[in-house]
Amino acid sequence: MADWLFLIPGFPLLGALINALFGEQLGPRWCGRLAASMPFLSSLVVLAIWLGPGTQPALLDRLWTWMTVGNLHVDITLRLDDVSLVMVSIASFVGFLIHLFSQQYLHGDYGERRYYFYLNLFVSGMLVLTMANNLLLLYLGWETVGLCSYALISHWYRESENAWAGRKAFVVTRIGDTTLLLGIFLLFAQYHTLTISKLLPLVQAHPAPALLLAASILILIGAYAKSAQFPFHIWLPDSMAGPSTVSALIHAATMVTAGVYLCIRLLGLFAVVPGMLEAIAVLGAFTAFFAASCGLAQVDVKRVLAYSTISQLGYMFMGVGIGAPSLGLFHLLVHACFKALLFMASGAIILIYAEDHDIRHMGGLKYRQPFLRWTFLAGIFALAAVPLISAAFYSKDAIINASYLVAGGGVPYALGLSGAVLTAGYAFRLYFLVFEGKPSELEEPYQMGWGMKIPLAILAAGSIGIGWLQFPPGWPGPHLWVHWLAPELGLPPRPLGLEGMLLTIIGALATFLGIGLGYWAARRERAGRGLSRWRFLASGWWIDGAILRLVPAPFYAFGRLLRGGVENLGVQGLAQGGMRDGLRLSAYALARGENGLASRYAVSMIAGLLLLLLLIWTWPL
């Protein structure tokens, strides 16, 4: 079975290749069908692994040697263990659902073929990223998905703003990529290996505190930039310029979770550095709170969801930081379901409202689009973590509750809990504004086909039901997830007994409080006095604007300075001009000597003779 692992990323890659080489002959319809079948085939292989050998022990598939120089040895080797099996399942299956959804959603769009090419390439890159056996192969996948994110955000390239948004996303994440690369350099300089499974034991056996601190900060910046964590989150709200399916796949379900995945993978590294995990937990909780507060004031349906993604990723990081990586991964899975659902549904909503993103112009959609309403509501339930009947109640609340137990968990717990209130607030504000109230006259008739309904239905079922894999400790019902991952990730701290019950009830109360907040916010918004008028929240605490004003300008100015001051004046002007003028002057001087006056020649000849004689006479022999 292990020998077939390459098929998982191989199928989408093949699809992308065929599309690139023969796409013109196939035509956009067949490109789309081909593209959709590729992740489906991948998920069949993944399913076979679930049913067949499983991933205990981890499966390895060594393909070929990438580079071997001296003590550096990098193979293209795929590795599948429990953690990556979860990621691979998400990437291939959710990827397939989104491909399926795109068939109708993007029909007739310009650049359909380009879209499917990048979508296939993306799935392939994401699969390589998750299955990478060494850090460099992971980096290959990491950059490939970054590229696809860029290309797909700029998909509607004829608007300059979209192209700009794509570039912004790529540049911000590339900053993180570069620090990640520097972190890799540091680790290699000390431990001489890039293979993750060899590196981590070495790190634990021979910790080098200062170097590991530097390396883990650098790697963490990479993860934060990819996962849009504060203050690198600025690219994600703008990335909504791309098609909603792209947001669903890349900016909700898969790529942005790569940072969390990397942290889970390298947990052994962060754990060695004192204080690192605590910092991750606090930063994650802060991002969760901060982004949720911004989400409350957005009027663009997709920007609400974008801030929500940032916030939910914060919870995942918090889970990793408090020593509950399996819960973080669980929330990652749950989030992939409901956020992909919400993004795809919002894509349909935007189509219905004729490309209008403003939720203040919407309302009463439940009457004409009941299917859309119920699936969307399932997603909103999961986002708000409504008790018992939503998956996030079992994942997100579990993270918040667990944080209460760990030492120094007070700050993350407080931030996480208030974030949960805000989360339920913006989730239901969005729902009330779009689906409840009087029907808006901007609405256009739109019939969703099966290709759109099936993915929504499957994801809605997941948003409700996946949580039942892992009930809170002490409750009757299955506790599969945490125990299944325990060999790799260990058991998270679990609140038991009365304490656990109290924490759960507090979490549930927070959700209901948030729903009330959402109802209140939606009513005020309709009355034109909503939170969206609060610039501080709507602009994301002014962070985006401040960074854009302060950071790029010095670089451009520096470039201009180098060009004007050093290159033009120094290199071209002084050095080159000086050389040219010097040669011209000496040529002139020599030419003046050749004047044809034979008597002067005679004088200089005799002078030269005398000089030579003098030299010979005084030469020390």
Partner 1 sequence: MIVSLLVLLPWGIALWLSLAQRSAAALSVAGALAEVLLCIPLLAGDPSGLAAVHIPLLGALWQLQSSPLADLFALTVALLLPVALAVQWHHGEYLHQARILAVLQGALMGTFFANNFLGFYIFYEIVALAAAWLILRSGQKDRRAALTFLLYTITASLFLLLAVLPIYLARGNSTGIYDFSWMRLSGSGLSGQIQLLLFLGMLAGLGVKLPLFPLHGWARGAYVQSAPAAALLLSGATVLAGVYGLVHWAVPLLPQGALLFSPAGIILASIGTLYGAFLALSTSELRETVAYSSVSHMNLVALGIFALQEQAWSGALILSIAHAVLAGGLFTVIAILEARGLSSNWDALGGLFRRMPRFGAWTLLFFLMALGLPGLGNFPGEFLTLLGSFQVLPVWAGIATLGMIVNLVVFLRAYERSMLGQLNPRLPGHIADLSQRELWIFLLLGAASLYVGLGSQTLLADFQQLLPVHSHLLLGGMHGGH
Partner 2 sequence: MIEIALVASALLFFAGLALILLRRSLVFWLLGAELLFNSALLVALAGGARWHAISGQVLALFIMALSGAALAPSLALLLRVRRELGTLNVDGLRLLREREENDG
Q: Is residue 483 part of the contact set for partner 2 (CB under 8 A)?
A: no
Residues in the chain: 621
Q: Could you tell me if 259 and 316 are in contact, meaning their C-beta atoms sit under 8 angstroms apart? A: no
Question: Of the ranges 27-35, 45-53, 124-132, 589-597, which one interacts with partner 2 (CB under 8 A)?
Answer: 589-597
Q: How far apart are CA 425 and CA 422, in angstroms?
A: 5
- Cα separation, 182 vs 214, whole angstroms: 10
In the complex, minimum distance from the CB of residue 552 to partner 1, in angstroms, rounded to a whole number? 8
Of 7, 30, 60, 157, the one binding partner 1 (CB under 8 A) is 157
- Interaction between residue 271 and partner 1 (CB under 8 A): no
571 binds partner 1 (CB under 8 A): yes
- The secondary structure of the chain in percent helix, strand, coil, rounded to multiples of 5, reads 75, 5, 20
571 binds, among partner 2, partner 1, none (CB under 5 to 8 A by kind): partner 1
596 lies in the binding site for partner 2 (CB under 8 A): yes
Which of 575, 607 has the CB closer to partner 1? 575
Measured CA to CA, the distance from residue 245 to residue 452 in angstroms comes to 11
Residue 317 beta carbon to partner 1: minimum distance, rounded to whole angstroms = 24
The entry of partner 2, partner 1, none near residue 505 (CB within 5 to 8 angstroms by kind) is: none
Q: Does 25 bind partner 2 (CB under 8 A)?
A: no
Stretch that binds partner 2, among 478-486, 511-519, 567-575, 588-596 (CB under 8 A): 588-596
Q: What is the pattern of x (binds partner 1, CB under 8 A) and - over residues 119-138? A: -----------------x--
Site for partner 2 in 526-585 (CB under 8 A): 584
Give the nearest distance from C-beta 318 to partner 1 in angstroms.
Answer: 29
- Asked if 585 interacts with partner 1 (CB under 8 A), we say no
Kindly indicate which of the ranges 55-63, 237-245, 270-278, 591-599 contains the residues binding partner 2, using the contact rule CB under 8 A. Answer: 591-599
Q: Which stretch binds partner 2 (CB under 8 A): 150-158, 326-334, 369-377, 593-601?
A: 593-601
Compute the distance between CA of residue 356 and CA of residue 333 in angstroms, rounded to an integer: 30
Residues 277, 213: Cα–Cα separation, whole Å: 11
Indicate whether 164 belongs to the interface with partner 1 (CB under 8 A): yes
Residue from 1, 182, 351, 458 touching partner 1 (CB under 8 A): that is 182
Query: Which of residues 551 and 611 has its CB atom nearest to partner 2 in the complex?
Result: 611
C-alpha distances in angstroms, 535 versus 90, 262, 343, 426?
Answer: 37, 35, 25, 16
Which of 145, 152, 147, 149 is CA-nearest to residue 128?
145
Give the whole-angstrom CA distance, residue 549 versus residue 568. 28
606 binds, among partner 2, partner 1, none (CB under 5 to 8 A by kind): partner 2
Residue 75: its H or E element: strand 72-80
CB of 610 to partner 2, least distance (A): 10
Please count the other Cβ atoms lying within 10 Å of the Cβ belonging to residue 285.
29
- Report, in Å, the least distance between residue 123 CB and partner 1: 15
Q: Is residue 572 within the footprint of partner 1 (CB under 8 A)?
A: yes
Q: Does 595 bind partner 2 (CB under 8 A)?
A: yes
Question: Is 341 in a helix, a strand, or coil?
Answer: helix
Q: In whole angstroms, give the CA distance from residue 327 to residue 346.
A: 27
Could you say which of partner 2, partner 1, none residue 591 binds, taking C-beta under 5 to 8 angstroms by partner kind?
A: partner 2
By the rule CB under 8 A, 174 interacts with partner 1:
yes
* Binders of partner 1 in range 53-92 (CB under 8 A): 64-72, 76
Which is it for the CA torsion 355, 361, 365, 367, positive or negative?
A: negative
Q: How far is 305 from 486, CA to CA, in rounded Å?
A: 32
DSSP string for residues in 157-171: TTSHHHHHHHHHHHH
Nearer to partner 1, 36 or 136 (CB): 136
Cα 112 to the center of its chain, rounded Å: 23
CA separation (Å) from 403 to 15, 282, 348, 397?
Answer: 44, 10, 37, 10
252, 247, 119, 228: which is closest to 175 by C-alpha? 228
Collapse the DSSP code of 354 into the 3-class scheme (helix H, G, I; strand E, B; otherwise coil) and give the result.
Answer: coil
| Window contacting partner 2 (CB under 8 A); options: 198-206, 317-325, 398-406, 594-602 | 594-602
Site membership for partner 2, residue 611 (CB under 8 A) = no
Q: Cα(621)–Cα(617) distance, rounded to whole angstroms?
A: 10
| Radius of gyration for the alpha carbons in the chain, expressed in angstroms and rounded | 31
Instruction: Pick what 380 binds: partner 1, partner 2, none; C-beta below 5 to 8 Å, kind-dependent.
Output: none
In angstroms, rounded to a whole number, what is the distance separating the alpha carbons of residues 280 and 317?
6
The one of partner 2, partner 1, none whose footprint includes residue 584, by CB under 5 to 8 A per kind, is partner 2
Contacts made by residues 19-23, CB under 8 angstroms, sequence distance 24+? 19/113, 19/116, 19/117, 19/120, 20/117, 23/113, 23/117
Pattern 242-271, partner 2, x by CB under 8 A: ------------------------------
Nearest to 247 by CA among 343, 371, 109, 331: 343
Residue 588 as a binder of partner 1 (CB under 8 A): the answer is no
Shortest Å distance, C-beta 118 to partner 1 = 11
Nearer to partner 2, 71 or 599 (CB): 599
Q: Which residues of the shown chain bind partner 1 in the complex (CB under 8 A)? A: 64-72, 76, 114, 136, 139-140, 143-144, 147, 150-151, 154, 157-160, 163-164, 167, 170-171, 174-175, 177-178, 181-182, 184-186, 188-189, 555-556, 558-560, 562-563, 566-567, 571-572, 575-576, 579-580, 583
Q: Which residues of the shown chain bind partner 2 in the complex (CB under 8 A)? A: 584, 588, 591-592, 594-599, 602-603, 606
